[in-house]
Amino acid sequence: MAGKRKRKNADRRPGIHPRNKYADNTPDFGLLASSYPSFEQYVFYSHDGRPKIDWTDFNATRELTRVLLLHDHGINWWIPDGQLCPTVPNRSNYIHWIEDLLASDIIGVSKSDDDVIKGFDIGTGANCIYPLLGASVLGWKFVGSDITDVAVEWANRNVESNPNISDLIEIRRVGTEDITSQVEELQTGGSAGLRRSYNGPPVLLGVVKDGEIFDFCMCNPPFFETMEEAGLNPKTSCGGTLEEMVCFGGELAFITRIIEDSVKLKHTFRWYTSMVGRKYNLSILVSELWNVGATVVKTTEFVQGRTSRWGLAWSFLSIARKITLAPSNNKIDRNNLSFMLEGLQRHQSAFHVLQSVESHFASGGILCKLDAASFNVDVFQQNPGALLVRGTLHEKTSSVPGLFPSIFQHLEEFLTRTFRTGKLSANLSR
């Protein structure tokens, strides 16, 4: 602003994450075929000469995943027939999104015994893809849980096949015999308003041990209610067992159980996250999270080809009230400033705040332009009643840099007065 009035474009269809290894270079099937004879047998060439594979052939998709993990990440990997076969670019997107959440300044940093990030993968599967990628690419520690003997056996095999990262990953067997009194209490007490149709094995409660603290959990949930529903897409073959693909109530019931568990575990995790397969379910889950008292809820979209999945994240940690981005060389970064507006009415949205920002600068002779030559002001919805206002200085050689902290402080004072003294309606009616 002065700036630019900038709004978050929630409707923009995102692509692959910019830090994803495949963001600029999609997998080269021709190169992989020439490097790995085991993959070459599955590659054919289209009329325009492009190498392709048959996505409905499980053996082809499994071999592609194997060679991508080996070629690009140095990971040795295999799964038996019938197990869920993940796509590497899509799973990498999820890992990098969590990396963004952990690096954000929305909530405080939890104290831990060391500086290593520790995650929990709910239903890691035989493929164990998230712990393997997280440990290999980012050096994170993981606990991966699962309920079947085959999944636990092959997840352990995949971990042991990579001794350079094996000490970072623990595979934890879950079974109905592990249900604790906490889980029984949740099933009978629970949080009002949440669905309780999930009646399977423990998810987090009864699996997370007393005293354990994690930076995040993640989950690729069973998306479907029946195997028939799971097999409706004839254009792909990713395998998948009954336990991996299906649960009573589908993904909505399963993720609702994660929400129920998170209400009890609260600060055991800094961020709770899950993949969501249907956008309709995403809106239901977001509403439920606000109802149970989450302090912040975040969503994103993962796109691969014609397939979309959504990421859902929430936390119960307190939102940072006043934020100045990390100091550089022992000096405060005065080019990036932000503050929280809290205690707002539900009808007071980010759009209303942006209108007031424009009005404030216009009254001082600073016009809002589209070039953002000097600085930007962004407004982000955190939760009902709380907005994050962030200012970023761009033109460091003008007279603005020295004035920017003062300008931003005056903006904070103006918005606080406007939105806490009932002046909003008057401002908007001018």
pLDDT of the residue at 8: 40
- CATH code, domain carrying 413: 3.30.1360
From 33-37, 174-178, 265-269, the region with the lowest mean pLDDT: 174-178
Q: 309 with 390, same domain?
A: no
Residues with Cβ within 8 Å of residue 355, at least 6 apart in sequence: 427, 428
Q: 88 with 142, same domain?
A: yes
pLDDT of the residue at 347: 66
Residue 75 falls inside a structural domain: yes
**How does DSSP assign 97-128, residue by residue?**
HHHHHHH-SSBPPPP-SSS--EEEEET-TTT-
Q: 364 with 261, same domain?
A: no
Q: 301 with 353, same domain?
A: no
Task: Name the DSSP class of 320.
Answer: P
Q: 86 with 131, same domain?
A: yes
Among 315, 334, 365, the domain-final residue is 315
pLDDT of the residue at 65: 97
Q: 297 with 337, same domain?
A: no
| Average pLDDT score, the chain | 78
On the question of pLDDT at 218 being above 60, the answer is yes
pLDDT digits (tens, 9 = 90+) for 352-393: 777 777 777 666 655 544 344 466 777 776 666 677 787 777
pLDDT of the residue at 181: 40
Q: Is this model's pTM higher than 0.95 or not?
A: no
Distance from C-alpha of 87 to C-alpha of 139, rounded to nearest angstrom: 21
Among 297, 315, 333, the domain-final residue is 315
pLDDT of the residue at 412: 79
User: Which of 87-96, 180-189, 389-398 ranks highest by mean pLDDT?
Assistant: 87-96
Count of domains forming the chain: 2
Residue 42 one-letter amino acid? Y
pLDDT of the residue at 217: 98
Q: 293 with 327, same domain?
A: no
Share of the chain above pLDDT 90, in %: 43
From 10-24, 81-95, 188-202, 230-244, the region with the lowest mean pLDDT: 230-244
Q: 239 with 288, same domain?
A: yes
- Torsion, Cα of 367, 368, 372, 374 (10° steps): 30
Residue 24 falls inside a structural domain: no
Q: What order of strands is seen across the sheet that includes strand 4-6?
A: 4-6, 375-383, 386-393, 336-342, 322-324
pLDDT of the residue at 183: 40
On the question of pLDDT at 270 being above 50, the answer is yes
Residue scoring higher pLDDT (4 or 400): 400
For residues 87-99, average pLDDT? 94
Residue 213 falls inside a structural domain: yes
Of the pLDDT bands very low, low, confident and very high (cuts 50, 70, 90), residue 334 is low
pLDDT of the residue at 239: 53
pLDDT digits (tens, 9 = 90+) for 132-154: 999 999 999 999 999 889 999 99
Among 282, 315, 348, the domain-final residue is 315
Distance from C-alpha of 224 to C-alpha of 250, rounded to nearest angstrom: 4
pLDDT of the residue at 301: 87
N- to C-terminal Cα distance for the chain? Answer: 21
Q: Tell me the residue range of the domain where 400 lies.
A: 320-428
- CATH code, domain carrying 50: 3.40.50.150
Q: 269 with 335, same domain?
A: no
Backbone Cα Rg of the chain: 24
